[in-house]
Amino acid sequence: MSNEKFKFSKAYPSDHLRCPDLEDKEVTLTIKAWEYPDEKKDKGADGQTMKGTVILFNESPKRFVANVTNYQSIKWIYGKDPDEWVGKKIRLRPDKTKFGRDTLPCIRIVNVNPETGEKPEAW
C-alpha cells in the first residue's frame, strides 16, 4: 500500500478529459481551440471515432470531446459558432447520466458564464 493518494488518471491514463480527472470538483478552463474529432486521436472504448466537438484548453493537455448536451450548454453561454468560444472560460462539473440501464459518470458544463457569473437568458 502506498502513502500516495490514488489518482484515476495515473492508474488509467488517457489523452481525453474524463469525469474522474475533475476529482469531484468544478473546474474552470479557458478554451484554446476547437476541432472536429480526429480518426486517430479520438477513439472511444469501442475503437470507433468519437462524435462531438473537440475542445482544447490552455490549462490542460487533455482533449475534451463535447457531446451534443455539452455543445448546447456552451452554445447557450457563448453562441453557436465555436470560433467565438476561443479565449472564453467554461466551468466543468462532474455528474452522472443514464446510458441504457447503467448510470455512468460524465462531465457537464455549468450553465453560467464564469467571466460574468450570469446565466444565459435561455436558462
pLDDT, tens digit, 9 for 90 and up, residues 29-62: 999 999 999 999 999 888 999 999 999 999 999 9
Phi and psi torsions of 91, nearest 5°: -110, 125
pTM metric for this prediction: 0.87
Q: By the 8 A CB rule, do 16 and 65 touch?
A: yes
Beta strand 53-57 pairing with 102-109: unpaired
Q: Where are the domains of the chain?
A: 16-109
Please state, in angstroms and rounded to a whole number, the distance separating the CA atoms of residues 52 and 63.
12
The DSSP annotation for the chain comes to: --SSPP-HHHHS--SB--GGGGTTS-EEEEEEEEEPPPTTT-B-TTSSBP-SEEEEESS-SSBEEE-HHHHHHHHHHH-S-GGGTTT-EEEEEEEEEEETTEEEEEEEE-SS-TTT-PPPTT-
Q: What is the pLDDT of residue 88?
A: 96
Q: What is the pLDDT of residue 1?
A: 62
Low-confidence ranges of the chain (pLDDT < 50): none
Q: What is the pLDDT of residue 6?
A: 85
